[in-house]
Amino acid sequence: MIDDHGWLVDARIISSPNHNDRSNPLDVSLLVIHNISLPPQQFGSSYICDFFTNCLDASEHPYFKEIADLQVSSHLLIDRAGKITQFVSFDKRAWHAGNSCFDGVDNCNDYSIGIELEGADEIPYTDEQYQSLVVVTQLLMAHYPTITKQRIVGHSDISPGRKTDPGPAFDWQRYYSDLD
């Protein structure tokens, strides 16, 4: 269930400062699937939450020096066990898509919801992640009827050449058929 303020009732909430108001909160019409792992291809730490809340310690890993000053977020993170953390209200504009375009309309952050799967392009996602993603997607589609299967995309689809996630390991056919 999504409450009146755009929060998923059953999710763990960790508020990210990396968001702003949508120009039109009623214009949510796109769902973007991402992946993230920090450090790359490593799972199970608190680093993703630290990153989305601007608390990532650059001294913890060499890769973190490259990203520690970035200000990014996502609406949701689904970890390898299928647990969901929400960082930004669906009513707000999370900073997940960057330079992006869908169906001729730029700035996908303005009208999209971003879901990060803890993962990497070439590493299979877990059954628990697919189960949680399907449940959340169905809730979002019911709450935002302009999000249809045709308006669910990967980050790579809206930022081609710049992004590759969720990558070839993401089973789109399984995901779409589980939505029915």
At 76-125, the pLDDT tens digits run 999 999 999 999 999 999 999 999 999 999 999 999 999 999 999 999 99
CA atoms within 13 A on the CB side of 141: 15
Contact (Cβ atoms closer than 8 angstroms) between residue 92 and residue 104: no
Residues 24, 26: Cα–Cα separation, whole Å: 5
Question: What are the tens digits of pLDDT across the range 130-154?
Answer: 999 999 999 999 999 999 999 999 9
Count of structural domains, the chain: 1
Burial class (CB in 10 A: 0-12, 13-18, 19+), 134: middle
In a domain, 100, yes or no: yes
Q: What average pLDDT does the segment 162-171 reach?
A: 98
Domain span at 18? 12-179
157 within a domain of the structure (yes/no): yes
Q: What is the pTM of this model?
A: 0.97
Look at phi and psi of residue 15 and say left if phi exceeds 0, alpha if psi is from -120 to 50, else beta: beta
Catalytic positions? 116
Question: Looking at the domain assignment, is residue 5 inside a domain?
Answer: no
Which among 180, 119, 178 has a CA at the least distance from the CA of 154?
119
* DSSP symbol at 124: P
| CATH number where 46 lies | 3.40.80.10
